[in-house]
Structure 1
Amino acid sequence: MAAKTNLIYIRIALLLVLLSGVRLLADDTMANAYLQQGRVDEARTALQQILAAQPDNAHAHQLLCRVYYAQDMADLAIHECELAAANDPGNSNTQMWLGRAYGMKASHANPIVAFGLARKVRYAFERAVELDPGNVQAMSDLGEFYVQAPAIVGGGLDKARVLADRMQPRFSSQAHRLLALIANENKDTTTAEAEFKKAVLAGRTAAAYVDLGQFYQQQSQPAKALEAIKTGIEADRRKDAVLVDAASILTSMNQSPQLAEDLLREYLASPAKSDDAPAFKVRLQLGNLLARQGDATSAQREYVAAATLASNYAPARKSLQGS
C-alpha cells in the first residue's frame, strides 16, 4: 500500500513539473507577444520572471536582448544576446540579433572601440548565415555590413557580390537589392536604379517598392519616390513595418504629411506590428509629425502612449518633458 501511495505522489510531482513547464512556455509566448506589440515594459517584466526561474533559457535571453535593442540600450542587449548565444550556440536568429546589438554599440563608439566591435558584428552575421543559409534577414544584414564596412574589419564589395550570387537562386529580390547597394556605394546610380527595379520585379513586395522610393528620395527625385511608395503601400496586404518606412521617407521629403500620418496610424492598428518597428517608437514618430503640423494636443497624447509602453526609453521621456 505504501509503495502504491509513493507512486501516486511521484506521478503528481511529475505532473506538476510538466504543468510548470507549460506555464513557463506560455509566459515566454506572452512575452514575445508583448514585444511584437511594442509593450516592452511588460515584456521585460515577464522575461525577467522567466529567467529568475530558468536562468539558462536561451530564448528568453534572446527576447530580452530584443527588448533592450528596441530601446537602443546596446550594452544590455549585448549582454542578453551573449547569454542566449552561450546557452544555444546553434541558433541563427540569436547570432543575427547579437550582430545587430554589436552594430548598435559600434555606431556610437569611438573609433578604437568601434574597430573591435565591427569584427564581432561580422563574425556574428557570418555565423548566423552559416547556421541557417535560409535566414534571409541575416544574409541581408551581412550584405549591408560587407558594403558599408572597410576591408580592415572584414568588409568589401567583392564579398558582397559573392553573397548576392549565393542569394540569387532562393532570394532573388533581396539579391538584387544587395547589388543595388553595391552599385550605390560605387556611385553608379544608373546600375543602382536598375537593380532596385529588378528587386521590385522579382518579388513585387511592398518592401522592394519602398526601397526604390528611398533611392529616389536620396537622388532628389520626389515625384518618382512618391509614386514608388504609393505603389508599395498598395502592395502591402499585411500592413506591417513597411508602412512605417514609407511614412519616414515621406516625412523626410516633406511630402504628403496626411498620408504619412495615415500610414503610421494604420500600422499602429494592425495585428502585424512587430519589433521591426516598435510601436512606442512609432507613437513617438507620430507625435513628432503631429507637433510639426501644430496639433500639440494630439502630439502629447502620442508621447504619453509611447512612454506608457516604454517608460525607460529616453526619447519618449524627453518628448514628454519638452511638450
Structure 2
Amino acid sequence: MSTLNKAEAASLRVVLCLLLLFGTLRPARADIASADRALQQGRAAEAVNLLQPLIAAQPSDPAAHQLLCRVYYAEELADPAIHECEQAVAHVPASSNNQMWLGRAYGLKAEHAGPFTGLSLAKKVRVAFESSAQLDPSNIPASTALGEFYIAAPSLIGGGLDKAERIASQLQRYSPAAAHRLRAMIAEKRKDFSTAESEFRSAIAEGHRPDAMVDLGAFYQRQNQPDKAVITIQSALNADRAHDAALMDMASILTDAQRSPDLAEKVLRLYLASSAKSEDAPAFKVHVQLGHLLSQHGDQTGAHAEYEAALQLAPAYNPARKALQRP
C-alpha cells in the first residue's frame, strides 16, 4: 500500500476540514437552534431529545450544555440543571450567560434545600451571579439577578441593600427601566412604600412596557390593594401587543387577588395561542396554571386536559403529574 505524498496529504486535510465544517458543525448548530426553538415554545421533551445525542457526540460543546441546563431549569429539575450548567462553565468559564444560568440553577435547588445546604447553595448563587455581572456589565438579566440576590439575602451570605444600590447605579447606563425597578425593590425592602411605588412608575415611564406595569400590579397586590392591582393589570393588558411572557404574570396577579377569573383565563389562553411564547413562561407551566384556575371553578375535565397538555410537552414536569393525581 502506497503512502500519501505531501500534496495528497494536504488535500486530504482540506477535505477533512470541509467535512468537519459542513458535515458536523453545521448540523450541530442546526440541532441547537431547533432545540432552542423547542424550548421557547415549551416543548421540553423535544429539546432534550435533540440535545442529549448532540452532547453525547460532542461532550465539550458548551452551548449545548447551557441550553440543556435551561431546559432542565424550566422543568424545575435542579440537579440535572446544575450538572449541565457546571459543564458549560467548565468549558467556557468566561461566559457571562453560562455563569448566570449556573447561578439560577443553584438558586432553584436552594429553594427546596434545608437550612445548611441552602446556605451553601446561596453562596454559590452569589459567586456565580457576581462572576456573570463582572464578566459583562451590559448583561442586564445578570446584573438584575445579582441585585435581586443582594436585596433578598442576609449579610451572612453576602447580601446587602448598599450592594444592590451600586448595581442599580450600574444598570442606569444600560437600562434605566431595570435600574428603577431595582430601586423600587430596594425601597420596598426598606418599607419605604411611597418611594417604591414612585420607582415602579418611573420604570413604566421609560417605555410603557407591559412587564413594568405587571411589576407595579404585583407591588399593589403585596400591599393588599387588590383594586389597584387589577386596574394596573388591565392597563398592562391594554398595552400588550406581543402577548409574551408578561401575560402569565398578569394572570397570576388576577388569581392571587381573587378578581376577574374570566379575564385570567382569557389571558392564559392568549399566551398559549401566541407566537411570542418563551422559556420565561414555559408553555407547560402555563397549561398547569390554567388547569389550576379551571379546577378552582369546578371544571375538572378542562383542568385535566390542561395537565395532560403540559405532560405532552414536558413529561418530566412533576407539578403536572401531581395535579393529575389529585381527586
Shorter-chain TM-score bucket reads over 0.9
Aligned counterpart, 2:249: 245
1:22-52 CA-to-partner distances (Å, cap 9, x unmatched) read: 1111011101111111111111111101001
> Which residue of 90, 94, 100 corresponds with 1:86?
90
Find the aligned partners of 1:154 and 1:73 in 2 and give their Cα distance: 26
Find the aligned partners of 2:91 and 2:98 in 1 and give their Cα distance: 10
Identical counterparts, % of pairs: 53
Following TM superposition, the consecutive aligned residue runs of length 4 or more in structure 1 with deviations greater than 3 angstroms are 1-15
For these two proteins, the number of residue pairs brought into alignment is 323
Find the aligned partners of 2:139 and 2:188 in 1 and give their Cα distance: 24
TM-score normalised by the chain length of structure 1 = 0.95
Find the aligned partners of 1:4 and 1:90 in 2 and give their Cα distance: 40
Check conservation: 2:181, 2:199, Cα contact below 8 A.
yes
The change in CA–CA distance for 1:187 and 1:3 in structure 2 (over 3 A counts) is: closer
> Which residue of 1, 6, 18 corresponds with 1:15?
18
Aligned counterpart, 2:308: 304
The change in CA–CA distance for 1:2 and 1:160 in structure 2 (over 3 A counts) is: closer
Residues 71-82 of structure 1 aligned to structure 2 (within 5 Å): 71-82=75-86
1:60-109 CA-to-partner distances (Å, cap 9, x unmatched) read: 00011111111111111111101000111111111111111111111111
Q: 1:204 aligned to 2:208?
A: yes
Report the alpha carbon displacement of residue 268 of structure 1 after superposing the two structures with TM: 0.9
Aligned counterpart, 1:320: 324
Q: 1:47 aligned to 2:51?
A: yes
SS in 2 for 1:254: coil
TM-score normalised by the chain length of structure 2 = 0.94
Q: 1:99 aligned to 2:108?
A: no
> Which residue of 36, 40, 43 corresponds with 2:40?
36
Find the aligned partners of 2:305 and 2:42 in 1 and give their Cα distance: 16
Aligned counterpart, 2:71: 67
> Which residue of 179, 187, 190 corresponds with 2:191?
187
SS in 1 for 2:30: helix
Report the alpha carbon displacement of residue 14 of structure 1 after superposing the two structures with TM: 3.6
Aligned counterpart, 1:233: 237
Report the alpha carbon displacement of residue 213 of structure 1 after superposing the two structures with TM: 0.4
Amino acid at match of 2:318: A
User: Unpaired segments of 5 or more residues in structure 1?
Assistant: none
Amino acid at match of 1:41: A
Amino acid at match of 2:155: A
Q: 1:134 aligned to 2:163?
A: no
User: Unpaired segments of 5 or more residues in structure 2?
Assistant: none
The change in CA–CA distance for 1:11 and 1:306 in structure 2 (over 3 A counts) is: same
Find the aligned partners of 1:75 and 1:81 in 2 and give their Cα distance: 10
Check conservation: 2:140, 2:174, Cα contact below 8 A.
no
SS in 2 for 1:90: coil
SS in 2 for 1:168: helix
2-11 vs 133-142, greater mean Cα deviation: 2-11
Find the aligned partners of 1:315 and 1:5 in 2 and give their Cα distance: 60
Aligned counterpart, 1:118: 122
Q: 1:255 aligned to 2:256?
A: no
Report the alpha carbon displacement of residue 5 of structure 1 after superposing the two structures with TM: 7.6
Aligned counterpart, 2:283: 279
The change in CA–CA distance for 1:5 and 1:245 in structure 2 (over 3 A counts) is: same
Report the alpha carbon displacement of residue 4 of structure 1 after superposing the two structures with TM: 8.1
Find the aligned partners of 1:7 and 1:170 in 2 and give their Cα distance: 49
SS in 1 for 2:238: helix
Check conservation: 2:106, 2:125, Cα contact below 8 A.
yes
SS in 1 for 2:316: coil
Aligned counterpart, 1:173: 177
Find the aligned partners of 1:258 and 1:193 in 2 and give their Cα distance: 28
